Amino acid sequence: MSFSSNMGISPRKLRYDVYSYSYQQDSKTPLVIQVLASLIERTLARNERIRRKCGLSVNHDRSKSSVRVFDCNETPDMTIQSYLERIFRYTRAGPSVYVVAYVYIDRFCQLLPEFRMTGRNVHRLLITTIMVASKYVEDILIDYDIVEKLGNEI
């Protein structure tokens, strides 16, 4: 579900979601995950339009870019929304972790303007930034077995 299709999300509702989150096992998926998925999907769509407009193939992009550390051999078939929900289900990281992870992604993209988020690298980029953000925000290190399991599913 994209952010634009859900008219009920207001800044107040999102703020309430971030600040009043309950860290219990039966907690619902935070709204911030839906918003983050929408922002990332928009970025991916924009980057794809830019790639097509410039007439570059995926292989050409990969050979030209010096930042390929997050690239997969194939584009995973899991949506951003479902991947973030899966990460939440396994890690139980709070909403603020996802906000900080998005800030990390934004800063990474600003520091390396030649890097473009694509379907091939976004899943690995997400799990990496969420892992680092959870350590920074909650001082909880996500178990590497969980990260490996999530990484192998894409």
SS3 track for 104-140? HHHHHHHHCCCCCCCCCCHHHHHHHHHHHHHHHHHCC
pLDDT per position as a tens digit, 88-139? 988 888 889 999 999 999 999 999 888 888 888 899 899 889 989 988 988 7
pLDDT of residue 4: 44
33 or 144, higher pLDDT: 33
Question: What pTM, to 2 d.p., does this model score?
Answer: 0.71
Which sign does the torsion angle of CA 76, 149, 126, 95 carry?
A: positive
Q: What are the sequence ranges of the domains in the chain?
A: 3-152
- DSSP, collapsed to helix, strand or coil, labels residue 95 as helix
Which sign does the torsion angle of CA 36, 38, 39, 45 carry?
A: positive
Select the CATH number that applies to the domain covering 3-152 from these four: 1.10.472.10, 3.90.1150.10, 2.102.10.10, 3.40.1160.10: 1.10.472.10
pLDDT of residue 126: 93
Residue from 30, 28, 27, 37 nearest 5 by CA: 37
Residue from 98, 17, 96 nearest 6 by CA: 17
Which sign does the torsion angle of CA 18, 19, 20, 25 carry?
A: positive
pLDDT of residue 60: 45
Which sign does the torsion angle of CA 94, 95, 101, 103 carry?
A: negative
- In whole angstroms, how large is the CA radius of gyration of the chain? 16
CA 95 to chain centroid, in Å, comes to: 13
Tokens of 108: 């990474």
- DSSP, collapsed to helix, strand or coil, labels residue 53 as helix
